[in-house]
Amino acid sequence: MNSPWPQRGLYAITPDDTDTLRLVARVETVLVAGAQWLQYRNKAANPHLRREQALALLPICRRHGVPLIVNDDWRLAAQIGADGAHLGEDDGELAAARAAMGDRALIGASCYDRFDLARAAAATGASYIAFGAFFASPTKPNARRATPELLQQSAILRLPRVAIGGITPDNARSLVAAGADLLAVISGVFDAPDPAAAVRAYLSCFDEARSEEFPNE
Ligand SMILES: Cc1ncc(COP(=O)(O)OP(=O)(O)O)c(N)n1
Ligand SMILES: Cc1ncsc1CCOP(=O)(O)O
Ligand SMILES: [Mg+2]
């Protein structure tokens, strides 16, 4: 199905900030700067705060035309009318999420370092497949590690490929060159001294990759 959302760019993921007003302000900065997708992820929040924060982020995402994807909890995503959910191996069945959220929902699947998981997710109706961590992640230091070849290999699945884990503006180009459509980033954006400048730096990696592909444009 054709998606109304951009299929390439920066997929910003929120940090564990328990101050809702501050989180909203930080996200606003990042969306104004041009991030294309937002995932609400907060491992430090209880269910009540998660609902409050996801609800607070929804109107900002709407205003910027950015999809809001809720991490881990497709039921919360469905309850608040978010645009999608991101599911890892411990986050329930993708098929159940798809059945409950409908065809238009953006439902992403963590595939870590495994092509077989990506193939299964594609067959079950995932909207995108996510691989990583590609580099040492300050947010999730023990995350499994993947290699860029997996991005190349999974082109055959014809779904947007998301790369995550320790991605900086300096190391992102290798992932875009290997086929990453979206760069999923937490600390490189939200812990940067100037988050708006960091967003622009990530986006420039796509421009450069495109001008290498099409040098005369
Ligand atoms: C875009 C994206 N990719 C991978 C993940 C990781 O999901 P998961 O393995 O469930 O780990 P947690 O994020 O829940 O710690 C993600 N959230 N987003
Ligand atoms: C959720 C997740 N899954 C693999 S690495 C990671 C964290 C990504 O955060 P950062 O961009 O700070 O490395
Ligand atoms: Mg998860």
Domain boundary assignment for the chain: 9-213
Contact predicate 38/61, CB 8 Å:
yes
User: Omega before 77 cis (within 30°)?
Assistant: no
Task: Identify the pLDDT of residue 211.
Answer: 56
Task: Identify the pLDDT of residue 2.
Answer: 76
Task: Identify the pLDDT of residue 169.
Answer: 98
Q: Is the CB of 91 under 6 A from ligand 1?
A: yes
The matching CATH number, chosen from 3.20.20.70, 3.40.50.1220, 3.30.565.10, 3.30.1330.10, for 9-213 is 3.20.20.70
CA angle 161, 158, 5 (to 5 degrees): 60
Catalytic option among 41, 50, 98, 161: 41
Question: Using CA atoms, how far apart are residues 50 and 57, in angstroms rounded to an integer?
Answer: 11
Given a cut of 50, the residues of the chain with pLDDT beneath it are none
Burial-class residue 116 by CB neighbours within 10 Å (0-12, 13-18, 19+). exposed
Question: Using CA atoms, how far apart are residues 76 and 210, in angstroms rounded to an integer?
Answer: 37
Proportion of the chain above pLDDT 90, given as a percent: 94
110 is in an annotated binding site: yes
Catalytic option among 140, 145, 173, 200: 140
